Amino acid sequence: MQRYPRDFTGYGPTPPAADWPGGARVAISLVLNYEEGGENNILHGDGQSEAFLSDIAGAAQWPGQRHWNMESIYDYGARAGFWRLHRLFTARNLPVTIYGVATALARAPEQLAAMQSAGWDIASHGLKWVEHKDMPEEEERRQIREAVRLHTEVTGARPRGWYTGRCSMNTVRLTAEEGFDWISDTYDDDLPYWIEAGARDQLVIPYTLEANDMRFATAPGYIEGEQFFQYLKDSFDVLHAEGGRMFSIGLHCRLIGRPGKIAGLIRFLDYAEAKGGAWFATRTQIAEHWAAKHPARRRERPSQMPREAFVAKFGGIFEHSPWIAERAFEMEMGPAHDSATGVHSLLARAFRSASPEERLGVLRAHPDLAGKLALAKRLTAESTAEQASAALDALTDDERATFEQLNAAYVARHGFPFILAVRDHSKTSILGAFRARTANDSTTEFAEACKQVERIAELRLKDLLK
């Protein structure tokens, strides 16, 4: 049994109505990462210097050494960049979410006091601004808990949100277990969504690595503020036209805090204000809104069912052929299959990969349209409802005689009953298809009957998994 964990479906073609406050078209989340003083440094007990997200081209870690230039760039973020951003946001009364590295906040009492005085939302950005991909699970869990402890000690309140950034394959699960109101270590949607973390429902607010000033420090990336402005403007315009979307903007004190870079951000803020339709909100405000408008709702997930339950629920989708559900259960299955379309994909694959003799058995398991079984009320519940949808349960004597003649002629020619997804048809079009298809050669008709069997299954699943 294979279970595939990645979710390629999300909200699919019909995202929920965000219903942002004030009828806003877009919820804009300004996120300021405060990492200065939490980065790799032998002063912090690390084995090397930092090399990530700075203006040093081709930076590399220096094992066992401090890197004066790198430290100086990070220091600029704390000494100058933060205050430039603080003045910008407070002058415009804009809400901001801080991703605060716990050890960095502990080393920045003046900046922290300014964040709190402004009423900014201070989420946790981990214990240290370091790579987690090779960190043992227990060590990462320990560091998450220590980050929460230190954050609470330094700020006076437990963080309600979390973003690691340089995360591991365990990060989302571990942070979900810790009970935050929201977590953001995903980049996979334009709206918040819920995940199931054991018995707990966890709200995820996806973040961004592209509408992010980190692209000033990566290649390809932005080389001037105007490029950053243009990207933010284009993103906002598209999301505004779609409506009901969220737009995260990622910022760093040592990057966007430089005068030539912040100019692009200022232009965007001016543009968004002039255009209108934006709700600037903290991530906690977005989380509270989403939880109120779209609370978590658990549902039965086919990918998580045991074999017996899966076969019991879907074994009758293909008429009297539970073996199809049994084979489908053995296939790779994941969140993408937790819908009518997803289950249909599995069942259809099992049917298509069966031998011609097995598929013929499925065709022969179908009843005649308006035949003797229907008259004797011995059809399955699904077949009964389907035939009734086209009024085949209310035929005149002449109509019934016509169907009996057509059934006999079709079976005599092809060796299996005439099969049609009658819910797609009227009584008149069914009779037309009956007459036309009886004249087909049996190879063509076998293929058409198999297509109709799959369509019948699709319609049944849409009824079952609404």
pLDDT of the residue at 82: 98
H/E segment holding residue 98: strand 97-100
Length of the chain equals 466
pLDDT of the residue at 376: 42
How far CA 164 is from CA of 161, 172, 346, in Å, comes to 10, 9, 36
Domains of the chain: 21-293 (3.20.20.370), 302-465 (1.10.3330.10)
Helix count and strand count (H, E) for the chain: 18, 9
d(CA 331, CA 358): 18
pLDDT of the residue at 59: 74
Active site residue 366: yes
Residue 396 confidence (pLDDT) above 80:
no
Q: What is the dihedral of CA 362, 364, 368, 374, to 10 degrees?
A: -70
161 compared with 216, residue with greater pLDDT: 161
pLDDT of the residue at 370: 64
Supply the mean pLDDT for the chain: 91
% pLDDT > 70, the chain: 94
pLDDT of the residue at 393: 66
Q: Which of 240, 289, 366, 414 is catalytic?
A: 366
DSSP state of 29: E
429 confidence band (pLDDT: 50, 70, 90): confident
Mean pLDDT for 84-106 is 97
pTM of structure = 0.89
pLDDT of the residue at 466: 78
Residue 144 confidence (pLDDT) above 50:
yes
CA-nearest of 29, 38, 180 to 111 is: 38
First to last CA, the chain: 26
180, burial (CB in 10 Å: exposed 0-12, middle 13-18, buried 19+) = buried
Residue 213 confidence (pLDDT) above 50:
yes
Each residue of 296-339: pLDDT tens digit? Answer: 999 999 999 999 999 999 999 999 999 999 999 999 999 999 99
DSSP state of 136: -
Query: 205, 283 in Cβ contact below 8 A?
Result: yes
Each residue of 158-209: pLDDT tens digit? Answer: 999 999 998 999 999 999 999 999 999 999 999 999 999 888 999 999 999 9
pLDDT of the residue at 369: 76
d(CA 126, CA 301): 32
223 confidence band (pLDDT: 50, 70, 90): confident
CA-nearest of 418, 413, 443, 414 to 430 is: 418
Residue in this structure with the two tokens 């509270």, named with its chain if needed: 288
pLDDT of the residue at 394: 65
